[in-house]
Structure 1
Amino acid sequence: MRLFSMYGWVRRRHQLGMRGRSLLEAPWAAGAVLLLCVAVAMLLANLPATAVYYRHLLETDLSLKISSPDGVIDWVFPRGMTVEKFINDGLMVIFFFSVGLEIKREIVCGQLSSFRRAILPVLAALGGMIAPAIVFLSFNAGTPTANGWGIPTATDIAFAIGILSLMGDRVPVSLKIFLTALAIADDLGAIVVIALFYGGAVEWGCLLLAVAIMVGVYIIKVLGETRAMYYLVPAVVVWGLFYYSGVHSTISGVAMAMLIPMKPRYSRAYFEHKTAALMRTLRRAGASHGGIPETLERNYLQYLWRLSRNSVGLSYRLEERLFPYVNFLIIPIFALANAGVTIGSPDYFHIFSNSSEAGWLGAGIFFGLLVGKPLGIFLTSWIAVRTKLAEMPQGASWRMLLAVACLGGIGFTMSIFVDSLAFADLEVVNRGKIAILGGSAAAALLGITLILLFSRKQRRQTEKPAAR
């Protein structure tokens, strides 16, 4: 039958597409692309032939301006929108929207869905935010750079999970799940920090209007609406209102993600019933016509596609569709725009020195990521397990948990984002970025070294009884 020959063609196309898709879904791929973009950005910002053009491109004005010759009409939207600001306040909203969808999924039905599952990674994430902030402030309290305490508190999930995947079976699966849940809880904490401490003066009119729209969207959700346009169009409006409200516009992405329905339009029972009825109809049509007419076949396949699509919740569909664009387009563009640190002098690399402009900024960030983050995660986990508030991940040892905690010190994306919000002086921002790159690289190398060392010792210990 032609239908089944078409199924064969679709299947072959699907297999070819899956080869490329499997590469995109490899845990290490996003981290590798991100690392490449960091290197390219550093070259663009410092090579004599490209440095000027790189900076001019980022400072290019993207605002739409409408004015009349007599000056009566003078309208600009969005006000102050440059290429760099479009990336950080526009494209990154999509990243935060994707993070919000992931957090919601984990809270509803994932690793954060119950107290017993969530308590250890949530507490570890909390400790992993408080400790590096304390380390940072121990260097910078009372200085002009004290506002940067939030920089070393975040974990870059792409790099951390990518490195864990490269370690293979040296790390227990339970610790991989632990670090993933921790990074998601850490992202939620970073979002709260950005919302509370790194916004501007609040324009309450814009903010209240945005809240009113979100309440309306929530009512639509309660009434059972599942079509994407009723959520995505208001999301754009809410972003614009947040942009002018003084609360950082990326927070609108997380807020709207929490309103996206997870419940599908069609239930599983309805899907199975309609699919069975459809196949019976196709068999009857094939028997009566000596084969299924092409037009009928195409119409039924399209109907089957719509049926399958609406049997999956909108939240899941959006998360899956955004995944490749966020990891392989938006985050790399963010890295290209923000990791390009112009090295004004060799002093930039003296991250442990004190300066009149940046104080002990570099030392605070570096040791916050390398020391504060792992210790905060490890000590909080140890206290939670010893007090029986939480359970140790199955098959994990304290040594390996410490090694995995070191990977939590890879701050990169969120840390650079907070760094750009914390300071207005470009030179201070660049010094902070150098420290972030150095601290993240040191934390990654320490984590990898400890994982290799502890896994080798563990294998030796298991081989000795077997040899006897």
Structure 2
Amino acid sequence: MVITDYFRKFIHNSQSSGILLIICVAVSLLIANSSLGPAFQNLLDTKIGTEMFDLNYSVSIWINDGLMAIFFLLVGLEIKREIVEGELSSLKNASLPIVAAVGGMVVPALIYFFFNNGTEYANGWAIPMATDIAFSLAIISLLGKSVPVSLKIFLTALAIVDDLGAIMVIAIFYTDQIHWTYLALSALMVLFLALLNFFNFKKHIFYLIPGILLWYFMHHSGIHATIAGVLLAFTIPTNVSATEISPLEKLEQKLHLPVSFLIMPLFALANTNITFKTGMVDGLFSSLGYGIILGLFLGKLIGINLFSYIFIKLKISSLPYKSTWPQMLGTGLLAGIGFTMSIFIALLSFKGHSEIQDEAKFAILIASLISGISGYLILKNFRKTTLDQD
């Protein structure tokens, strides 16, 4: 199996950034439940920017709509690279993580729908669809060489496809009102970027400046501005050469550190500042809590492994190299760590309802904790069993 340097670097960065994210979550929760909580919330609500171009937003909006667009730019670059030259470049290689990702999105959404159809929480059906790349890879990486690299690649590719699915869901289902003039300007900007690619412009500056305008137009169109990051990514030039580093690969390398060690930690600090209130634990036993926790914990496990099993039995796909079904079960549980994307979708699902947002974020944290610990224990126990047999 050919393992690209980019996958090795991505896995390494994800392990380190995942640990940092855990620390940021703990710090955010501590701040929110201390005397610093109100001051921290006031900081997040502070508006910065200019009224001249209608860009006067709170700190939290700049993080969630602005900085997260850079996160999605990196995700888009990874998706495009893997489609062109990596794990998603052929149907044989891509079939298992793609079909597993589809199962891991459909089954959790159905479980959430079962519990919440017709309730005030119905709009959050996409919350348990998402997998957090950084956290899931951080945990699987803690097991070291006892877990096949192919399994880490499978989980990475699955999470990337999962992110693409989440991006499409946000664009289609979480858009409140479309302003067609700005949307048309966004389309023209994408066309301009595509022409730059066609005429082989390679310097990043030619893409990043129009990319900022694309973000501005997309933000004012009504479609969530983070989509601009993905659209921009798909216009960045790349190649299949093993010797020449493409503009896409160069930009990807430059973005990994700031995204992993600045943007994601800031997102975690800003969006997990949950103030624990009386009755919040009871919310875990509401239809919202059941939908999120069972969707992430059981939905991901069942969806990923059921769809994988069907395609492997049909001989369309095969298990990752040197991996086994017990390891696939553990990997399916790790995919139930929804954190970043799940919280992001929860914020969009329940705009203007801070109490519901907090309940959803708390349920996501609990579900991610259960999934992460369960997946780690299964993979660790299977490793011990294998070593004992050897």
**1: CA distance, partners of 2:306 / 2:342:** 22
Task: Answer yes or no: is 1:454 the counterpart of 2:382.
Answer: yes
Q: 1:435 aligns with which of 337, 354, 363?
A: 363
Choose 394-403 or 432-441, whichever is displaced more: 394-403
Task: Answer yes or no: is 1:46 the counterpart of 2:33.
Answer: yes
**2: CA distance, partners of 1:160 / 1:39:** 17
Match for residue 281 of structure 2?
A: 349
Amino acid aligned to 1:342: T
Deviations 1:271-306 (A, max 9, x none): xxxxxxxxxxxxxxxxxxxxxxxxxxxxxxxxxxxx
Task: Answer yes or no: is 1:234 the counterpart of 2:220.
Answer: no
Match for residue 55 of structure 2?
A: 78
Deviations 1:419-459 (A, max 9, x none): 10000200000000000000000000110111122222223
Match for residue 383 of structure 1?
A: 310
Task: Answer yes or no: is 1:365 the counterpart of 2:292.
Answer: yes
Match for residue 3 of structure 2?
A: none
Q: 1:76 and 1:226, CA in 2 relative to 1: closer, same or farther beyond 3 A? A: closer
Task: Answer yes or no: is 1:317 the counterpart of 2:265.
Answer: no
**1: CA distance, partners of 2:383 / 2:10:** 27
Choose 255-264 or 137-146, whichever is displaced more: 255-264
Match for residue 416 of structure 1?
A: 343
1:63–1:76 Cα contact (<8 Å) kept: no
What runs of 5+ residues in structure 2 fail to find an aligned partner?
1-8
Shift of 1:169: 2.4
Larger radius of gyration: 1
**2: CA distance, partners of 1:76 / 1:216:** 22
**1: CA distance, partners of 2:103 / 2:95:** 12
**2: CA distance, partners of 1:137 / 1:379:** 19
Amino acid aligned to 2:23: L
Q: 1:394 and 1:129, CA in 2 relative to 1: closer, same or farther beyond 3 A? A: same
**1: CA distance, partners of 2:133 / 2:189:** 31
1:24–1:30 Cα contact (<8 Å) kept: no
**2: CA distance, partners of 1:205 / 1:255:** 18
Shift of 1:57: 0.6
Aligned length: 381
Match for residue 6 of structure 2?
A: none
Task: Answer yes or no: is 1:223 the counterpart of 2:199.
Answer: yes
Q: 1:169 and 1:312, CA in 2 relative to 1: closer, same or farther beyond 3 A? A: closer
Match for residue 299 of structure 1?
A: none
Shift of 1:245: 0.2
**2: CA distance, partners of 1:214 / 1:451:** 44
Task: Answer yes or no: is 1:333 the counterpart of 2:266.
Answer: yes
Shift of 1:149: 0.8
Match for residue 187 of structure 2?
A: 211
**2: CA distance, partners of 1:312 / 1:443:** 38
Shift of 1:267: 11
Amino acid aligned to 1:454: F
Task: Answer yes or no: is 1:36 the counterpart of 2:12.
Answer: no
Shift of 1:129: 0.3
Amino acid aligned to 2:282: H
TM-score by length of 2: 0.94
**2: CA distance, partners of 1:201 / 1:26:** 37
1:23–1:29 Cα contact (<8 Å) kept: no
Deviations 1:1-24 (A, max 9, x none): xxxxxxxxxxxxxxxxxxxxx999
Deviations 1:33-80 (A, max 9, x none): 0001101111111102x1111111111111313xxxxxxxxx45215x
Deviations 1:255-281 (A, max 9, x none): 0100001149x996xxxxxxxxxxxxx
1:369–1:443 Cα contact (<8 Å) kept: yes
Q: CA RMSD in A?
A: 1.8
Amino acid aligned to 2:55: P
Shift of 1:173: 2.0
Choose 177-186 or 432-441, whichever is displaced more: 177-186
Task: Answer yes or no: is 1:163 the counterpart of 2:139.
Answer: yes
Secondary structure, counterpart of 1:350 in structure 2:
helix
1:416–1:436 Cα contact (<8 Å) kept: yes
1:351–1:363 Cα contact (<8 Å) kept: no
**1: CA distance, partners of 2:284 / 2:206:** 51
TM-score by length of 1: 0.79
Shift of 1:26: 4.8
Match for residue 60 of structure 1?
A: 46
**2: CA distance, partners of 1:201 / 1:39:** 36
4+ residue runs of structure 1 moved beyond 6 angstroms?
none
**2: CA distance, partners of 1:23 / 1:341:** 30
Shift of 1:217: 1.5
**1: CA distance, partners of 2:196 / 2:295:** 44
